[in-house]
């Protein structure tokens, strides 16, 4: 069994173009989906590994009847010699039900494209942490503005009338 798994992973790694693996993990991912305005760029190291969202060596699964809310993930690495972003692949992650739909490689194809997989067990916590961090960063400037307005308002009205 262990030998079969090793062979499957080796075959997969040979089937995928090597530039992304030669450069190491992805530089960043982009996320689009529920509760996000536009596109979120993420550099959390827990989400940069090729197998962070799904372990393709475990095989595909049947499409779920209702996978839930989705997040579109595009994985990117920056070629350090040219300083250009290379968009590698795209997948859809469903954190509520633990599924991944792998759209596939953006340039080329593989036997894993267009199939459903179970999500890695640890990816949900890392992914939700990124979303929570984004939510905190969205409200911090607004909260700071409200506090400053309260301070200025209190200072202005406590001064009393000019005589």
Q: What is the pLDDT of residues 15-36, one digit of tens each?
A: 444 344 434 689 999 999 888 8
Q: Considering the chain, what percentage of its residues have pLDDT values greater than 70?
A: 67
On whether residue 132 sits in a domain, the answer given is no
* DSSP letter (8 states) at residue 62: P
* Radius of gyration in angstroms for the set of CA atoms belonging to the chain, rounded to a whole number: 22
Phi, psi of 40 (to 5 degrees): -100, 130
On whether residue 145 sits in a domain, the answer given is no
Taking only the tens place, the pLDDT of each residue in 105-133 is: 999 899 999 999 999 988 999 998 888 87
On whether residue 138 sits in a domain, the answer given is no
Residue among 60, 28, 40 nearest 135 (CA):
40
On whether residue 151 sits in a domain, the answer given is no
In the numeric block, the tokens 């595909």 are attached to: 60
Domain housing 8: 2-123
Q: CB neighbours of 70 closer than 8 A, spacing ≥ 6? A: 33, 34, 92, 93, 94, 101
On whether residue 16 sits in a domain, the answer given is yes
Taking the model in full, what pTM does it have? 0.68
Total number of domains in the chain? 1
Distance of CA 52 to the CA centre of its chain: 9
Average pLDDT value over all residues in the chain: 79
């Amino acid at each position: 069994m262990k030998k079969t798994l090793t062979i499957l992973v080796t075959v997969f790694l040979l089937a995928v173009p090597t530039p992304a693996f030669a450069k190491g993990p992805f530089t960043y991912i982009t996320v689009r989906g529920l509760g996000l305005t536009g596109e979120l760029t993420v550099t959390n190291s827990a989400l940069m590994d090729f197998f962070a969202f799904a372990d393709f060596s475990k095989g595909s699964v049947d499409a779920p009847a209702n996978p839930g809310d989705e997040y579109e993930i595009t994985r990117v690495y920056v070629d350090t010699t040219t300083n250009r972003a290379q968009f590698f692949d795209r997948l859809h992650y469903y954190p509520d039900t633990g599924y991944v739909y792998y759209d596939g490689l953006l340039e080329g194809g593989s036997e894993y494209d267009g199939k459903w997989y179970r999500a890695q067990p640890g990816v949900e916590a890392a992914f939700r942490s990124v979303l929570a961090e984004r939510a905190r960063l969205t409200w911090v400037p607004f909260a700071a503005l409200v506090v400053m307005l309260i301070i200025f308002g209190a200072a202005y009205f406590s001064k009393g009338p000019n005589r």
